[in-house]
Amino acid sequence: MFESLSDRLGGVFDKLRGRGALTELDVRAAMREVRIALLEADVALPVVKTFIDQVTADAIGADVIRSITPGQMVVKIVNDALVDMLGGDSAPLNVDVTPPAVIMMVGLQGSGKTTTTAKIAKRLNEKFGKKVLMASLDVARPAAQEQLRVLGEQISVATLPIIAGQGPVEIAQRAKSAAKLQGFDVLLLDTAGRLHVDTALMDEMRAVAGVGAPDEILLVVDSLTGQDAVNVASSFSGQVELTGVVLTRMDGDARGGAALSMRSVTGKPIKFAGTGEKLDALEEFSPSRVAGRILGMGDVVGLVERAAETFEAEASEKMAARLAKGQFDMNDLRSQLSQMQKMGGLGALAGMIPGMAKAKAAMANGGPDDKTLGRMEAVICSMTPKERAKPDLINAKRKIRIAKGAGTTVQEVNKLMKMHQEMETAMKRLRKMGGMKGMMAMLG
Ligand code: GDP
């Protein structure tokens, strides 16, 4: 999987890794090569462009953490951008609904739809203990229904008895009531494929979706067809509400263009990857795992993550030492604010710290909400270094200048000053009470 792309990217990073310092020129040269590697991997052009822009901006602006090389930092940035490009988080199947959950499988002929239907059935049954029923609605291709029945026998999953002469909509209705009556957890509907996307196929698909009321509509596409797979997905998603994509034949896909473009172009998550002909050759698609596989540099990514954690831990230790001495200036307030934002804003904090929900409610009038955190930071940025270190310097005249610089009002500046004062007082009081250690432990 992804071998040729991996090799190309590996070559680019090898050149960067030895560097002690990284210039903008280095980054741009590396990105030119990454761009070619992605295009050769058959990634859609707009997707490549967005990717390169993002990585270039992140890499040039990056604070390089002590103890790692700039080259390693770039590997981490590329890794994160790949994860984003692949869809971010994994997208699990939505089958925990009032039974039966209905999964409708759609796709072109030969994409691997029937095989994938059986693979998903097997997985749901064996891994999640679901009672699964499969039904083939493919009355166009002779022996399609029989093919699914045979697969069902192989994996010990029930299939709907075949009644000759029924159309797809009738079969879907029959399958749904059988699944309800017989207490199945999941019903998989394997619809008919065609050689090309055509109106008859789309009409049939919509009619089946109408009676089946599926919780998932999964499109099966062959990853070996590269951008065609992405185009097929775009045409299908204009016709039915696809909930996800399954990419088959990833085992033979050295390039990875379909996988890398799918999410950005269609907006649909890749839920599974088919990795072989055997019925257990199905993987849940995990963007971070796939990015790791493409880069083959899990060690570097892990190293940078650990370094970043240490860096933050050191910063908060420094902060704790200052607080313990009763020092709390605008710089401290700023790092507190950005910490809050990183942790998901006040909303997230409220859930984590006992008593915080109350404090948040109390702050609702005039206190900072998640949006104002950013604005408060802007106010602090507008202060001079001296003012930040000695907030007492800030008189009325200075306030006007600060407000102007931050594009806000003097009232906002006053609000921030008040907040700083209150926090400073609270810190001092805490110190007197000797409760600092407990407080810091609580704040993490
Ligand atoms: P359908 O016409 O879309 O239902 O396609 P089938 O399910 O009949 O699959 C067509 C062929 O592709 C079969 O020979 C499958 O074994 C094969 N196939 C399906 N998925 C995969 C996969 O992930 N990897 C490989 N190597 N072969 C696959």
pLDDT, position 439? 52
> Model-level pTM?
0.71
pLDDT, position 434? 55
Q: Topology of 325-443 in CATH?
A: 434 Repressor (Amino-terminal Domain) (1.10.260)
Residue 210 labelled as part of a binding site: no
Residue 54 labelled as part of a binding site: no
Counting ligand 1 atoms within 8 A of each CB, the residue from 123, 134, 188, 277 with the most, and so the one to mutate, is 277
Task: Sort strands 132-136 and 186-190 into parallel, antiparallel or unpaired.
Answer: parallel
pLDDT tier at 427 (50, 70, 90 boundaries)? confident
Which of helix, strand or coil describes residue 248? strand
- The answer to whether the beta carbons of residues 227 and 44 sit under 8 Å apart is yes
- Tokens 């963007």, residue? 287
From the CA of 119, give the closest atom in ligand 1. 20
The residue-averaged pLDDT of 242-264 equals: 91
Q: Which pair of structure tokens corresponds to residue 217?
A: 């509509």
Instruction: Give residue-wise pLDDT tens across range 301-350.
Output: 766 777 777 777 777 777 777 777 777 888 888 877 776 666 555 554 44
- Centre of ligand 1 to C-alpha 180, Å, is 30
CATH superfamily of 3-88: SRP54, nucleotide-binding domain (1.20.120.140)
pLDDT, position 239? 86
How far does CA 74 lie from the centroid of its chain?
20
Same fold, 3-88 and 325-443: no
pLDDT, position 354? 38
Q: Is 228 exposed, middle or buried (0-12, 13-18, 19+ CB in 10 A)?
A: middle
Most confident of 233-237, 296-300, 357-361: 233-237
The residue-averaged pLDDT of 103-110 equals: 94
pLDDT, position 68? 72
Pocket of ligand 1 (CB under 6 A): 107, 109-115, 193, 248-249, 251-252, 274-277, 281
Q: Helix (H) and strand (E) counts for the chain?
A: 20, 8
CATH superfamily of 101-285: P-loop containing nucleotide triphosphate hydrolases (3.40.50.300)
- Examine the pLDDT at 112 and tell me if it is beyond 80: yes
Q: Whose CA is nearest to atom 12 of ligand 1?
A: 112
pLDDT, position 182? 97
- CA-CA distances (angstroms) from residue 1 to 34, 77, 217, 275, 417? 18, 22, 26, 9, 57
- Centre of ligand 1 to C-alpha 107, Å, is 12
Instruction: Give residue-wise pLDDT tens across range 80-102.
Output: 899 999 999 889 999 999 999 99
- Centre of ligand 1 to C-alpha 246, Å, is 12
Angle, helices 287-295 vs 70-85, to 10°: value is 140
Residue 326 labelled as part of a binding site: no
- Tokens 């008593």, residue? 355
Range in 148-152, 300-304, 418-422 with the lowest mean pLDDT: 300-304
Look over the chain and give the mean of its residue pLDDT values, rounded to a whole number. Answer: 84
Nearest one of 356, 401, 360 to 382, comparing CA atoms:
401
Q: What does the DSSP 8-state code read for residue 376?
A: H
- Centre of ligand 1 to C-alpha 119, Å, is 11
Residue 109 labelled as part of a binding site: yes
Query: Above 0.90 for ipTM, yes or no?
Result: yes
pLDDT, position 272? 95
pLDDT tier at 368 (50, 70, 90 boundaries)? low
The residue-averaged pLDDT of 256-262 equals: 90
The residue-averaged pLDDT of 229-257 equals: 90
pLDDT tier at 64 (50, 70, 90 boundaries)? low
- Examine the pLDDT at 150 and tell me if it is beyond 50: yes
Q: How large a percentage of the chain has pLDDT more than 70?
A: 85
pLDDT, position 444? 43
Q: How large a percentage of the chain has pLDDT more than 90?
A: 45
What does 185-247 look like in DSSP terms, one character per residue? SEEEEEPPP-SS--HHHHHHHHHHHHHH--SEEEEEEEGGGTHHHHHHHHHHHTTS---EEEE
The residue-averaged pLDDT of 20-31 equals: 81
- Which comes out higher in pLDDT, residue 58 or 440? 58
Instruction: Give residue-wise pLDDT tens across range 198-224.
Output: 888 889 999 999 999 999 999 999 999
So where are the chain's domains?
A: 3-88, 101-285, 325-443
